[in-house]
Structure 1
Amino acid sequence: MRIRALLISVGLLAAATVQVSGGAAQAAAGPVLSVDASASRHAISPYVYGMNFADAALARDLRLPVHRWGGNATTRYDFRNDTSNRAADWYFENIPNDNTDPSTLPDGSDSDEFVDQNVATGADTILTLPLIGWAPKARAKACGFSVAKYGPQQSTDPWQPDCGNGKKPDGTNITGNDPHDTSAEITPAYVTDWITHLKSRYGAANSGGVRFYNLDNEPDLWFSTHRDVRPEGLGYDELRDRTYAYGAAVKAADPGAKTLGPVGWGLNSLIYSGLDQDVCGRTGCWSNPPDKAAHGGQDLGAWYLDQMKAYESAHGTRILDYFDNHIYPQQSGVLGDNVDAATQALRLRSTRQLWDPTYVDESWINTPVQFIPRMKNLVAQHYPGTKVAITEYNWGAFGHINGALAQADVLGIFGREGLDLATLWTAPTTAQPVAYAFRMFRNYDGAGGAFGETSVKATSADQDKLAVYAAERAADQALTLVVVNKSGGELTSDVALTGRAGTAQVYRYGDADLTTIQHGANLTVSASGFTGTFPANSITTIVVPKGTTTSPSPSPSPSPSPSPSPSPSPSASCTVAYTIVNQWQGGFQAGVKIVNTGASAVNGWHLDWTYANGQKVTQSWNGSYNQSGANVSVVNVNWNASLPAKGGSAEFGFLASRTGTANDVPAQFKLNGATCVKV
């Protein structure tokens, strides 16, 4: 459906015509884009830019905000022997982590190393906790379906031929196997022990420790993925009871930790229990699922949220903080590496299932999905105050520009639709196009340049051709736009901007060069906007400075921003933007950007300030901190030591405890002893 933007007027015809890329003469007319910085303002959670299993280099490059330890192998993991069962993904085998020195355990486990990386890169951690009631019984390889014990099987591990896939040669499942072949029973006490261990190494959640815990991984599929220990589907009541027991154990062990559940696999997880998916998958009872019927015909997602609310009402403790379900596009060929022309077009259309009420899912689903609004509406109706998360999603084609376009579209949708947390399954390599899609939001200039934290109104007359997303940045009040050309051809479009005028920076990524983000020529934005040409198969980030406001003052942003400060004096050689990113009782997270405005480069820096109200830094990233009393000093790390003259910059972040108010910005900052201007 095409809707002409309401903000376009005759005045736009006088807008500056700017080639965002070359070739305007050959470009087709594109849909009108409109951005209004004063409308539809809401905070974008930084946690929507998360990943599963990113390497440290990529995490640093993207300043990855949240990093998840998840997947089927984490449903049965024991930190004490550092061994996981790989479930149906790999022959139901117990496999110890061979990088660990067993004599040091539980210290130095694979999960510890995961958290260590996050501490070093500044990412918050999500760890998956087993709710299934089983964990590897020993630090040794073992098979869930031994060929010697259970007979010939359809497939066996080429390197461990006694480990089969649990299916007889005719394809039917082996039944009656002994779960103790690989596993031993665990209870919520296991969770208590693990969190106690984590707190001893990293502190509590509110003091720089592990912040998030997934309440297992896709428990509605245990009957398939972990059928060697759980051959029957998980019903409504048992899901509730396990969540109560294990969620309560998390909150007792670390009250500041946040929990995410039920971590279902997709749309069906909002409707059916694992028991109904098991039974109806075999018998075809989808029109009258027995477990659902036994619970008043209520969909699982709504019932689950009701039960979590009931627990809080009865006990005074919230044991569910995020309503978390996964989504993988079910359209044929989209999830994977297929890049034929039809699949590329389908991949780009299919992102509409995240939000669009007019998009009928082109798969077996065959109905509008509206995944994010659907989940938010369930929360609003059944457990208000719960946040919404998607801890696994994947739109495929990581190594192709088509995958990058889809990923950029998805990230824009997450921010616009108000999702609270998302982690891509799994992470791309640093050189893959999908990694560049993240950079266009997180580090488009290689110096920490990022999409804004406050979403503003941005519309396209044809989202399937040009998608546009916009946000205001707290540190400098710049308006940031991301435009995704999904049409397959170069397009020239009028872009109406309400509220901004000035000289903007342009960055773009596309199939002309998949190895780098190009910094294009600056463009001039007039009072009514500009006209831009967007290359085929490209992502363009446009940064419009605060400049001149050309419309009524915007409504206040819900995201925190630094206190007002005077304009830089002529003699100032540096500016500092100090931003409160997040805060909670007794603590906060802050980000700092230093800009060298002087005529000489700075090679090696330290930034110093003094707190007035008891703040104490507890953890930092992209800089090494030292605090003595109220005096704080942050020193560069190797890769950001150089600040080129006239605009060179560096950013770092930190966590801090407080007894006063987190929004108390230090009165003065000094860069290598020289006083900087706060901006």
Structure 2
Amino acid sequence: MPRARIRVALLATTLLATSATAIGTGTAQAAELSLSVDLTAPSHPISPYVYGMNFADETLAEELRLPVRRWGGNATTRYNFRLDTTNRASDWYFENIAGENADPSALPDGSETDRFVDQDRRTGTDTILTVPLIGWAPKERAKACGFSVEKYGPQQSTDYWAPDCGNGVKPDGTYITGNDPHDTSVEIGPEYVTDWMAHLRGRYGDAAHGGVRFYNLDNEPDIWHSTHRDVHPAGASYDEMRDRTYSIAGAVKAADPDAATLGPVGWGWSSITLSGSDQQRCAIEGCWSNPPDMAAHGGVPFGEWYLRQMQAYEKSHGVRILDYYDNHWYPQGSGVSGGDPGNAETQALRLRQTRTLWDRTYTDESWINQPVYLIPRMKEMIAANYPGTKVAITEYSFGAIGSLNGALTQADVLGIFGREGADLATLWAPPAPADPGAYAFRMYLNYDGKGGRFGDTSVRSTSTDQSRLAVYGATRSGDGALTMMVVNKTGSDLAAPLTITGATPGGTAQVYRYSGADLTGIHREADLPLRAASQRPSTTSPAHATSHASGASPAHAAPATTVSTTFPANSITELVILDTVPPCAPADLDAGRVTATSVTLTWPRATDNVGVTGYEVWRTSAAGTVKATTAATTLTLNGLTPGQRYTLWVRAHDAAGNLSPKSRTIRVTTPRR
């Protein structure tokens, strides 16, 4: 959950009136602004898992066809699946709290986590469950707390409903130490994880057959000394994290080899470089320039060292026990990650702080005070220390999800995840279905209310001023459509031409928009014409050019199209260009071996502006007309009649269903027996 040097900011949802979301006012025709999308440039897939959430409700998850949902947070660090009981740690007086909806006599069936997976199966969503590394779980369903007032004395704060449960802080502000972890908890180890996964496999199957696909290796273990100090008062060290990960991740892989693991699940910026031990000690001693745990490990930052240990395990055991390098992200600018949108300055800062995800030139406007560029940084760490590991951010929040300002920021974040090639991300905490933040997700996952989704292959997209007008483009493999998301982050209408290199002029772009004009829905606006733009030579390699264009040599000028429009103040606009261009006709259809009952046809691959997905092979004879289909460029027609004359031709089709003209027709006569 969000912390600034382990400072918790509570998330709330506050619906803001349109006038309050505007950062600046008025109308501007910004002639210097321009947007471009290049279909001939190198591209990369967008992982569907970047559109995930923690704890999204079923209505929203079903509507969005949510790809992944996480069961995580502080309470999941100490969870007993047999008792369906969590310890709420510092979030709520270190109390054991039993699940309310389970039948105790039926446990572990019907537990909170069972119901979580049940929902995901109903909505077609993949599940992330958190497994404990901490070594403790609640000992019973009965109420118990880590710092009893009767046992440990007066405390600064107690639970109103359970006044014997304190916050573990003495009236003088110092922490209570020396408490007994067994007041609430019992020791657990890898056998606990093995038993829990056996239960899950028994109900749902393994990861390869519809079961739980992902397992978080605990939650923010580098701050256990704060959040779970009743059982883990000392900050987790380099060596402890290695050993506990080896033990628990090894157990996960032994129980379900196809399940994916995510670790070390650090809380934020400090987690990338510092162990929990160094974070705790240097907060007291001020040893930030020479953290002792880091110094004892060759001066290697914690994240890099951790990745090296995971690689060492694979080399030694032949098993990869870490699939995703996972680090949480809450922007640390004042007021940004909270639920309140804040004043105009805070709202502007929130929109700027999306740059912490990618921009090497942006100095973070917080105590961090240096460039973060989180996703490229994580990728570089992986490439240098454990290649093949994926990038995950299983908790993040830029705040104000109940406001238009938060929705604009969230739309920008989702675009950045796709463009920068993150592999998995889950928002903390999810929006309610009516919140503006939910519409940011709808713009990517259901913009038309009929399942229309943003593309799944990112294409190069640039803005002359990303801080005002951000653009993200992607092609959609299902039908070849080009989708482009444009976020106006300002309080002024902005006019900017959008040039698409590699797109054929003609036709129209559909327009879907969410803005302050109506916070309750996405509106279909009038289509925009696609006009010819000045052509320029393509600079990409043939391999890249042919995957997007018609297969023409890159030495030729790529076609270019311009869309001209004005993007309203504080708006999210999606432009959708459906593929209406049919493939070229297959050339040089040839009949190979002809028998009394068969003929083999071959033809060169047809070309298309997006890509050919298959072919229709037609034959006519005295018996009528018959169609066959294939994805290949050859087909043997069997079951022919001896001594019969056949007329044959081929048509290509693309993902959108556009059909090419007929190839040349050929005629063959099957020999008599």
Q: Identify whether the pair has TM-score above 0.5, normalized to the shorter chain.
A: yes
Equivalent positions of 1:208-219 (< 5 A) are 208-219=210-221
- What secondary structure sits across from 2:156 in the alignment? coil
- Highest CA radius of gyration, 1 or 2? 2
Question: Could you tell me how far apart the structure 1 residues matched to 2:166 and 2:659 are?
Answer: 64
Is residue 2:347 matched to residue 1:344? yes
Question: Could you tell me how far apart the structure 2 residues matched to 1:320 and 1:376 are?
Answer: 15
Query: Among residues 179, 194, 197, which one is paired with 1:177 in the alignment?
Result: 179
Query: Among residues 542, 557, 576, which one is paired with 2:575 in the alignment?
Result: 542
Question: Could you tell me how far apart the structure 1 residues matched to 2:611 and 2:65 are?
Answer: 19
Question: Could you tell me how far apart the structure 2 residues matched to 1:147 and 1:178 are?
Answer: 13
Question: Could you tell me how far apart the structure 2 residues matched to 1:508 and 1:499 are?
Answer: 25
Q: Could you tell me whether the CA contact under 8 Å between 1:474 and 1:561 is conserved in 2?
A: no
Query: Among residues 266, 271, 276, which one is paired with 2:273 in the alignment?
Result: 271
Q: Could you tell me whether the CA contact under 8 Å between 2:580 and 2:658 is conserved in 1?
A: no
Q: State the one-letter code of the partner of 1:490.
A: D
Q: 1:155 to 1:561 in 2, by over 3 A?
A: farther
Partner of 1:155: 157
Query: Among residues 463, 466, 476, which one is paired with 1:460 in the alignment?
Result: 463
Q: 1:287 to 1:25 in 2, by over 3 A?
A: closer
Question: Could you tell me how far apart the structure 2 residues matched to 1:245 and 1:51 are?
Answer: 28
Question: Could you tell me how far apart the structure 1 residues matched to 2:532 and 2:414 are?
Answer: 29
Q: State the one-letter code of the partner of 1:110.
A: E
Question: Could you tell me how far apart the structure 2 residues matched to 1:470 and 1:79 are?
Answer: 43
Is residue 2:511 matched to residue 1:509? no
Partner of 2:532: 527
The CA deviation string for residues 203-225 of structure 1, in whole angstroms up to 9 with x for no partner, is 00000000000000000000000
Partner of 2:613: 563
Equivalent positions of 1:205-244 (< 5 A) are 205-244=207-246
Question: Could you tell me how far apart the structure 1 residues matched to 2:570 and 2:407 are?
Answer: 9
Question: Could you tell me how far apart the structure 2 residues matched to 1:561 and 1:139 are?
Answer: 59
Measured after TM superposition, the shift of residue 531 of structure 1 is: 1.2
The CA deviation string for residues 378-415 of structure 1, in whole angstroms up to 9 with x for no partner, is 00000000001000000001111100000000000000
Q: State the one-letter code of the partner of 1:216.
A: D
Q: 1:561 to 1:60 in 2, by over 3 A?
A: farther
Partner of 2:627: none
Q: State the one-letter code of the partner of 1:307.
A: Q
Measured after TM superposition, the shift of residue 563 of structure 1 is: 3.5
Equivalent positions of 1:203-602 (< 5 A) are 203-336=205-338, 337-500=340-503, 501=505, 502-528=507-533, 529-548=562-581, 563-565=613-615
- What secondary structure sits across from 2:114 in the alignment? helix
For structure 2, the residue ranges without an aligned partner over 5 or more in a row are: 1-24, 534-561, 584-609, 619-629, 632-656, 661-673
Q: State the one-letter code of the partner of 1:499.
A: G
Q: 1:283 to 1:495 in 2, by over 3 A?
A: same
RMSD of aligned alpha carbons:
2.3
Q: State the one-letter code of the partner of 1:107.
A: D
- What secondary structure sits across from 1:120 in the alignment? helix
Partner of 2:557: none
For structure 1, the residue ranges without an aligned partner over 5 or more in a row are: 1-22, 551-559, 569-577, 580-675
Q: State the one-letter code of the partner of 1:506.
A: V
Q: Could you tell me whether the CA contact under 8 Å between 1:261 and 1:322 is conserved in 2?
A: yes
Q: Could you tell me whether the CA contact under 8 Å between 2:341 and 2:405 is conserved in 1?
A: no
Q: State the one-letter code of the partner of 1:563.
A: T
Question: Could you tell me how far apart the structure 1 residues matched to 2:240 and 2:138 are?
Answer: 22
- What secondary structure sits across from 1:564 in the alignment? strand
Higher mean displacement: 517-526 or 179-188: 517-526
Q: Could you tell me whether the CA contact under 8 Å between 2:237 and 2:276 is conserved in 1?
A: yes
Partner of 1:614: none
Q: State the one-letter code of the partner of 1:520.
A: E
Higher mean displacement: 453-462 or 338-347: 338-347
Q: 1:24 to 1:359 in 2, by over 3 A?
A: closer
- What secondary structure sits across from 1:563 in the alignment? strand
Q: Could you tell me whether the CA contact under 8 Å between 1:127 and 1:212 is conserved in 2?
A: yes
Question: Could you tell me how far apart the structure 2 residues matched to 1:235 and 1:244 are?
Answer: 14
Q: Could you tell me whether the CA contact under 8 Å between 2:330 and 2:396 is conserved in 1?
A: yes
The CA deviation string for residues 340-368 of structure 1, in whole angstroms up to 9 with x for no partner, is 10001000001001000110000000000
Q: Could you tell me whether the CA contact under 8 Å between 1:24 and 1:533 is conserved in 2?
A: no
TM-score between both structures, scaled by the size of structure 2: 0.79
- What secondary structure sits across from 1:29 in the alignment? coil
Partner of 2:125: 123
Question: Could you tell me how far apart the structure 2 residues matched to 1:273 and 1:151 are?
Answer: 32
Question: Could you tell me how far apart the structure 2 residues matched to 1:77 and 1:436 are?
Answer: 33
Measured after TM superposition, the shift of residue 40 of structure 1 is: 2.9
